[in-house]
Amino acid sequence: MSFRRSDGPADRAESERLLDAARDGRPPAEPDPLWHLLAAAAAPANPAELSGEEQALAAFRAARSAPAPAAARQRRHRRWRAGAAAWVAGLAAATTAGVAFAAVSLDRPEEPASPPATTPGSSGEDGSPSRTPSADPTGSGPGAPTTGPSTTPGATSGGPGRPAGTEQLTGLCRAYLAKPAGQRAGALETSAFADLVAAANGADQVERYCLRLVPEPAPKSPSSAEPTRSTGPAATARSTTPPTPDAARSAKPTHAAPG
Amino acid sequence: MTGELSEAVVAAQAGDEEAFRFLYRSLQPGLLRYLTALVGADAEDVASETWLQISRDLPSFTGGEFRAWTVTIARNRAMDHLRRQRRRPSLPVPVQALSELAGDADTAERAGETIGTEAALALISTLPPREAEAVLLRAVIGLDAETAGRVLGRRPGAVRTAAHRGLRRLAALLDRAQSDQPSGGAGNAAPPRPRTGRGRQAPSAPHAEPADG
């Protein structure tokens, strides 16, 4: 199409610069209506956009209490890999321990350099510091070497193929009840709620089922909290509190701060 | 990915609820705006589904650009939604919003100055879907062209071209909105232009073309 004369960017490179500037909130040297438009589109959140926060957190809790099959598969795979690595390392340790260790470290650079060679045989199940905290009941921070001969897969609540537990259903119910009434029926058609529908014996029973399971419907509190892009409270909270997955999982959802 | 965001991802994977809250607050606005362009008024529903899946699949996120990972989920959920609705990406609300924008003297006068987020998104949503998506992924979600290309399954060059075309179109729209207000003042030195066509019409009728594939 033919463009009428405008102050639009002359070429792709100029467009790229303008897009980057808008994303970063850097005004250009000369006033540019197009920059204002893009910057407005990328403006910080308004509270209404965050109204689904408690619902998302409920989903997070539900997922934590019952890891998805996909996650379980991945963990199994990682476990297998770790087992194989430990086996190879153990074998090689007899001959050239140093080289083997270096090789293992190079193989898995994304993980803390826990020495699998020191616990050959014992780490077949979970020798690698998993990113999932449930496999690390010692609560040692990331980076701390964990030679976890005592950790068992059973530490994770909810293995693959396990029927949905009460905890998970409670989480799903909270997520369900947090939805506006008009969206509930539609939500039940999604796979995310399939377990709940099955447990309740049908979509039409979910409402009653959930009210029994979660006596008090989760209040749908419109979050007025401001999004914090630079120095969020989350960042400070993270740095001060050690990761305590169990506490986080069992903690009651706090709808305490609607104001 | 900013260090802060990746820190939060790791913490959330470890079960830190506050970290997840931080992720939500950081990413939800962009996701919602992007989804609004894709599915219109159903964006909130699709965003909810998106966060359900993010919660569920978070343990399987193995690194890389987390924004791209989440926006890919959002896009897939939007495409599923549109399939369920048996319709192609359409832009029902935005076109109307544009008419209002062009018809409302005050809005038009302000368009280049203090345009609001909604009006800005409405304008972007009038672009052909490919261009709208490229502009939104770049400017609102904050991906670079390479990453946006991976999300869209297109080459980075194609994303750059689409974004560039989109920006040119938007510039023309803004130009028109301003020139349609001859007595608007607003310190505009440009002489009033004759109205070509009816000013309330987008230069490109919104295509019913699929956003991709």
* Per-residue three-class SS string for chain A: CCCCCCCCCCCHHHHHHHHHHHHHCCCCCCCCHHHHHHHHHCCCCCHHHHCCHHHHHHHHHHHHHCCCHHHHHHHHHHHHHHHHHHHHHHHHHHHHHHHHHHHHHHHCCCCCCCCHHHCCCCCCCCCCCCCCHHHCCCCCCCCCCCCCCCCCHHHCCCCCCCCCCHHHHHHHHHHHHCCCHHHHHHHHCCHHHHHHHHHHCCHHHHHHHHHHHCCCCCCCCCCCCCCCCCCCHHHHHHHHCCCCHHHHHHCCCCCCCCC
Task: State the pLDDT at residue B27.
Answer: 96
Question: Residues 165..204 of B with a Cβ closer than 8 Å to A: which?
Answer: 167-172, 174-176, 178, 196, 203-204
Task: Give A104 to chain B, closest Cα distance, Å.
Answer: 19
Q: Cβ–Cβ of A243/B11 closer than 8 Å? A: yes
pLDDT digits (tens, 9 = 90+) for A244-253: 444 444 444 4
Q: Cβ–Cβ of B44/A52 closer than 8 Å? A: yes
B132 touches chain A (CB under 8 A): no
Between A47-56, A62-71, B22-31, B155-164, the lowest mean confidence (pLDDT) is in: A62-71
Domains and CATH numbers, chain B: 3-84 (1.10.1740.10), 92-184 (1.10.10.10)
Does the interface predicted TM-score (ipTM) exceed 0.90? Answer: no
Q: Cβ–Cβ of B164/A12 closer than 8 Å? A: yes
Q: Is the pLDDT score of A219 beyond 80?
A: no
pLDDT digits (tens, 9 = 90+) for A179-197: 777 777 777 877 778 778 8
pLDDT digits (tens, 9 = 90+) for A82-108: 555 555 554 454 555 444 444 444 444
pLDDT digits (tens, 9 = 90+) for A194-207: 778 888 878 888 88
- Per CB-CB distance under 8 Å, the chain B contacts of A232 are 4, 22, 25
The pTM assigned to this predicted structure is 0.52
